[in-house]
């Protein structure tokens, strides 16, 4: 591992903005300041016109391994993450088999050791993600698992969710809920509204999400446990979380990039690429989510990166699995709806704190800090080409879009894993 000097950039972190070079060696930041000398043999990276920031942290990525390697592997998913500026991702547990035991978690953690970014593991709340009995959360927590979710399904049994929250509080971990009442959502394939009626596609009412958000806020208030809401998508959900935070309930929330820029009108093409769960909603919902970014109701933007092999999406809309790619496009999409500093807070240090990764990721770019960094060119424009993405899958909703802002370099554990937009291994 050679020393690295990033020259000519502007450092942006939670402490503010300043012009400075950044020197890295032995996995840590050695110096931050003007006109730093490069020691012999050091790798010099061009940061001119760029922002040097803490690496991004994704709270919500589906890496598919084990079980669906035809769609993604930890290696290909981590490559996409690195190209997107991420230094860490949290792998969701809805794999096959699910991550509901210490053995399953060890397998994914072992696969992640050779990944381009740090791969943290989320554990399932219930065995098999079936919502019937709690997974061995203490065993998983002993391995370092800090986030637990049955993502893909919400825990339907309120009494079981209460027990899980009580247990999580004692362990000092966070439960993350996919909020969807299955009885209210059953049979739906897109948002229930004017477009679903026009297209003849069964819809999912916003109430399916909001009912569970309301229930779980009440349970978090009752238990005092920390609760994180995954991929919120509706006006009502944002309002419920805003009021809960005002009361002091220990809740955090994320939004996915696609819910910030796409609406249910995109489904008019009947293209299954635009089928996602929760579904794309209305203009009013998009506006509410964007307002939540500004006022702090939404703490993080998480990709919900959900690759599917092409043949899986090559079926009628209502039969296709839900999900979209997100890791390589998230930064540019978020920059299209908010300013750079807020985007970095939402994509880096705030999700790092929620995920329990703040000791290594998202911290200030300062001497002695872990060298997990990204160098962003905020002005460059680029065209999204599905064939040019690192994922094994191609289900991006942004094909052909012209985006502004892209990562030039990514440094993980002191190693330059992306240089000039190219992954190095």
Q: Which of 21, 181, 304, 377 is catalytic?
A: 304
Q: Residue 302 in 3-state DSSP?
A: coil
Q: Residue 227 in 3-state DSSP?
A: strand
304 is an active site residue: yes
Same structural domain, 203 and 277: yes
Find the domain containing 194 and state its range: 54-354
Residue 360 lies in a domain: no
- Tally Cβ neighbours within 10 Å of residue 153: 17
Task: Locate 393 and state its tokens.
Answer: 């899958």
Task: Locate 420 and state its tokens.
Answer: 């000039």
Same structural domain, 276 and 409: no
Give the predicted TM-score (pTM) of the model. 0.97
Residue 205 lies in a domain: yes
Same structural domain, 45 and 64: no
Write the CATH number for 233. 3.20.20.140
Last residue of a domain, one of 296, 320, 354: 354
Number of domains in the chain: 2
Same structural domain, 201 and 271: yes
Last residue of a domain, one of 299, 329, 354: 354
Element (H, E) at 5: strand 4-7
Same structural domain, 284 and 325: yes
Same structural domain, 181 and 250: yes
Per-residue confidence (pLDDT) for residue 41, from 0 to 100: 87
pLDDT averaged per 10 residues in sequence order, the chain, 425 residues:
93 97 97 93 96 98 97 98 98 97 97 97 98 98 98 97 98 98 98 98 98 98 98 98 98 98 98 98 98 98 98 97 98 98 98 98 97 98 97 98 98 98 90
Last residue of a domain, one of 317, 333, 354: 354
Residues 300, 59 contacting (CB under 8 angstroms)? yes
Residues 274, 266 contacting (CB under 8 angstroms)? yes
Same structural domain, 259 and 395: no
* Residues 6+ away with beta carbon under 8 Å from 79: 116, 390, 423
Residue 294 lies in a domain: yes
Per-residue confidence (pLDDT) for residue 1, from 0 to 100: 67
Name the DSSP class of 131. S
Q: Residue 264 in 3-state DSSP?
A: helix
Element (H, E) at 13: strand 10-13
Residue 273 lies in a domain: yes
Place of tokens 């819809």: 203
For 123-136, b where at least 16 C-beta lie within 10 A, e where not — what string?
Answer: bbbbeebebeebbe
**Residue closest to 72 by CA, chosen among 355, 334, 312, 320:** 312
Same structural domain, 213 and 314: yes
Residue 362 lies in a domain: no
Per-residue confidence (pLDDT) for residue 425, from 0 to 100: 74
Same structural domain, 61 and 176: yes
Same structural domain, 327 and 415: no
* Residues 6+ away with beta carbon under 8 Å from 255: 231, 232, 233, 289, 292, 293, 298, 300, 301, 302
Write the CATH number for 38. 2.30.40.10
Q: CA 21, CA 47: separation in Å to the nearest integer?
A: 8
Same structural domain, 260 and 318: yes
Same structural domain, 341 and 292: yes
Residue 90 lies in a domain: yes
Residue 359 lies in a domain: no
How many residues comprise the chain?
Answer: 425
């Amino acid at each position: 591992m050679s020393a690295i000097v990033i020259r000519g950039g502007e450092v942006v972190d939670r402490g503010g903005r300043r012009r400075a070079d950044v020197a890295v060696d032995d996995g840590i930041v050695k110096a931050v300041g003007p006109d730093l000398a490069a020691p012999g043999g050091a790798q010099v990276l061009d940061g001119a016109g760029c922002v040097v920031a803490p690496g991004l942290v994704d709270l919500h990525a589906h890496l598919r391994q084990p079980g669906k390697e035809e769609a993604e592997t930890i290696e290909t998913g981590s490559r996409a993450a690195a190209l997107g500026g991420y230094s860490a991702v949290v792998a969701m547990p809805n794999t096959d088999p699910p991550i509901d035991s210490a053995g399953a978690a060890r397998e994914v953690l072992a696969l992640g050791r050779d990944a381009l970014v740090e791969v943290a593991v989320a554990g399932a709340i219930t065995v098999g993600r079936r919502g019937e009995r709690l997974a061995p959360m203490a065993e998983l927590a002993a391995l370092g698992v800090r986030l637990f979710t049955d993502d893909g399904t919400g825990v339907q049994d309120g009494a079981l969710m209460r027990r899980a929250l009580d247990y999580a509080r004692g362990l000092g971990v966070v439960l993350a809920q996919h909020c969807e009442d299955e009885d209210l959502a059953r049979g739906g394939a897109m948002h229930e509204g004017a477009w679903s009626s026009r297209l003849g596609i069964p819809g999912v009412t916003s109430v399916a999400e909001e009912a569970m958000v309301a229930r779980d806020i009440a349970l978090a208030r009752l238990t005092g446990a920390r609760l994180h809401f995954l991929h919120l998508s509706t006006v009502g959900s944002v309002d419920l979380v805003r009021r809960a935070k005002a009361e002091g309930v220990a809740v955090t929330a994320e939004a996915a990039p696609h819910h910030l820029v796409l609406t249910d009108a995109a489904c008019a093409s009947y293209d299954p690429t635009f089928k996602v769960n929760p579904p794309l909603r209305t203009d009013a919902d998009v506006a509410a989510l964007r307002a939540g970014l500004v006022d702090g109701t939404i703490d993080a933007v998480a990709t919900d990166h959900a690759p599917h092999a092409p043949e899986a999406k090559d079926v009628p809309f209502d039969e296709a699995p839900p999900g979209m790619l997100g890791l390589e496009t998230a930064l540019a999409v978020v920059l299209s709806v908010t300013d750079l500093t807020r985007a970095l807070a939402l994509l880096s240090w705030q999700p790092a704190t929620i995920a329990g990764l703040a000791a290594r990721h998202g911290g200030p770019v300062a001497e002695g800090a872990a060298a997990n960094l990204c160098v962003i060119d905020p002005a460059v424009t680029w065209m999204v080409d599905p064939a040019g993405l690192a994922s094994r899958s191609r289900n991006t909703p942004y094909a052909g879009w012209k985006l502004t802002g892209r990562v030039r370099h990514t440094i993980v554990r002191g190693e330059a894993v992306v240089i000039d937009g190219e992954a190095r291994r």
